Amino acid sequence: MNRRDLVRLGWATVIGAGAGRLGPAFAGSPGPAPRPPQNPMARPPEPKARAGAADFTLRIAPMMIELAPQVVISTIGYSNKVPGPLLRMREGQPVSIDVVNDTDVPEYVHWHGLFVPSEVDGVEEEGTPPVPAHGHQRYQFVAKPAGSRWYHSHTAAMMDLHRGSYTGQFGFFMIDSAHDPGLYDQEVFLALRDWEPYFTPMDQDEAAPDPNDPMPEKPATPDQRPNGLEVGAPLY
């Protein structure tokens, strides 16, 4: 084999190897995308913040609650508790709360009495996004002002007395003062609740008044006409 034949053989080998590498791309498989032209004046993208664990987690799900011996009802609660878990933090503390919705309908969780932006207030009319059905939502805000607050569902129940404020979706939200250490001997959280609501056309205040009790807020002749859909409850 002379030198000319050796050079020809070498070039044929190189071209064949290159075609083997490029063959799949020419056969229609996706190859590497071309890089867009670089703008020397463009700023590099900022790194995205990594989401860590939330300070608190609330899980909305159906549950059973025993109100008294042999008195068990079904409702929807937070983290299998009624009232829901105590959320406690220090005034001015940044807080993050993950709300997981294990129900079939969107939900809202409202932080009652807090100074927070509307997008995390937990109210539909304020523009807060809902917690989607079988989804989750993270709320992040600064805890203020100090005091005894509470959180609860802000879903409109409408005609369904198994939704929204008629369920067990409420809990205590305690923001301790940043300056007052709280010199108390004992701390007790109490909530009043009525259960098993039902619609009634009668006003619950239409019971016959005791003539010996002063009732300046009532007219001399109460209006006995049905006043629409009132809600009563047999359990408290």
pLDDT at 49 over 70: no
Which one has a higher pLDDT value, 71 or 24? 71
Mean pLDDT of 138-149: 94
pLDDT digits (tens, 9 = 90+) for 96-117: 999 999 999 999 999 999 999 9
**C-alpha to C-alpha distances, 218 to 205, 206, 214, 215, 232, nearest whole angstrom:** 10, 10, 9, 6, 20
pLDDT for the residue 198: 84
Give the residue among 60, 111, 72 at the shortest CA–CA distance from 89. 111
Which one has a higher pLDDT value, 83 or 229? 83
pLDDT at 142 over 80: yes
What is the CA angle 129-130-136, rounded to 5? Answer: 110
Q: What is the chain's mean pLDDT, rounded?
A: 78
pLDDT digits (tens, 9 = 90+) for 177-192: 988 877 788 889 999 9
232 pLDDT band, cuts 50/70/90, is confident
Mean pLDDT of 5-16: 49
Helix (H, G, I), strand (E, B) or coil at 205: coil
Lowest-confidence segment of 58-62, 165-169, 213-217 by average pLDDT: 213-217
Domains of the chain: 56-176 (2.60.40.420), 194-236 (no CATH)
pLDDT for the residue 110: 95
3-state helix, strand, coil in the chain (%, to 5): 15, 30, 55
- Helical ranges in the chain per DSSP H: 3-26
DSSP string for residues in 70-101: TEEEEEEEETTBSSEEEEEEETT-EEEEEEEE
Q: What is the percent of the chain with per-residue pLDDT over 90, rounded to a whole number?
A: 51
Mean pLDDT of 196-204: 72
Please tell me the distance from the alpha carbon of residue 75 to that of residue 196, in angstroms, as a whole number: 9
Mean pLDDT of 34-53: 47
Which one has a higher pLDDT value, 51 or 135? 135
pLDDT for the residue 66: 94
Give per-residue burial for 50-73: e unless 16+ CB within 10 Å, then b. Answer: eeeebebbbbbeebebeeeeeeee
236 pLDDT band, cuts 50/70/90, is confident
Taking a C-beta distance cutoff of 8 angstroms, is the pair 150, 187 a contact? no
pLDDT at 56 over 60: yes
Q: How many residues does the chain have?
A: 236
